[in-house]
Amino acid sequence: MPRTASPSIVTYRLHKKMVYVSPAESYEEAVDFAKAVFADELSGIDRTRVVFSINVAVQHTPRTVQIGPMAWNAVISTLVEYEIIDVSVQSSVCHVGYTDDTPPPYVDTHPKHSWSLSPLPPCRPHTPISPARSPSPGKGTRNWFERHFQPLPFQV
């Protein structure tokens, strides 16, 4: 049967550092608490990148489940005293100078410095292709496979 009251204390864990905190009333308050107790680690991190997760057993297999903002109150009410809530930072995606509706800008193709990439010489000199074909191998010429493997006798 699910609990109806939140625990009086939970544990926030970031990397190997753990801190006891009062359960937050909302997801936003949980982010505030995390940024306060892990001030050195989370300073300069945008609050939208701070996420929470708990470890659960799904069919006897340990799994990590992230807590979504809309589920915060429901999840907190099921936790036991001192339960560990993992704090982590999501990777950020850099969107500089454009929005989701526009494509990213093209890279300038003109060299800006004298030491930048210059056209490379071709790998080999250009030789015209001869219109004549090479002769097919004669009966005395065997390919690599035929030289190294004997064919199995064909049985009908």
Decide if pLDDT at 46 tops 80.
Answer: yes
Angle, CA 49 vertex, CA 48 and CA 51 arms, to 5°: 100
- Higher-scoring residue by pLDDT: 146, 28: 28
The pLDDT tens digits of the residues spanning 79-134 come to 999 999 999 999 876 555 555 666 666 666 555 555 545 555 555 555 555 555 55
Find all residues with CB under 8 Å of 22, minimum gap 6, and list them.
8, 9, 10, 33
What is the per-residue pLDDT for 4?
Answer: 61
Q: What is the mean pLDDT of residues 66-83?
A: 96
Side-chain-facing half-sphere of 118: CA atoms under 13 Å:
4
Flag whether pLDDT at 67 surpasses 90: yes
> 20-29: per-residue pLDDT in tens?
999 999 999 9
Q: Read off the pTM.
A: 0.57
Mean pLDDT within 37-51: 95
Domain ranges within the chain, ordered by starting residue: 10-89
* Domain 10-89 CATH (choose: 3.10.20.90, 3.40.50.720, 3.30.70.20, 3.30.70.1170): 3.10.20.90
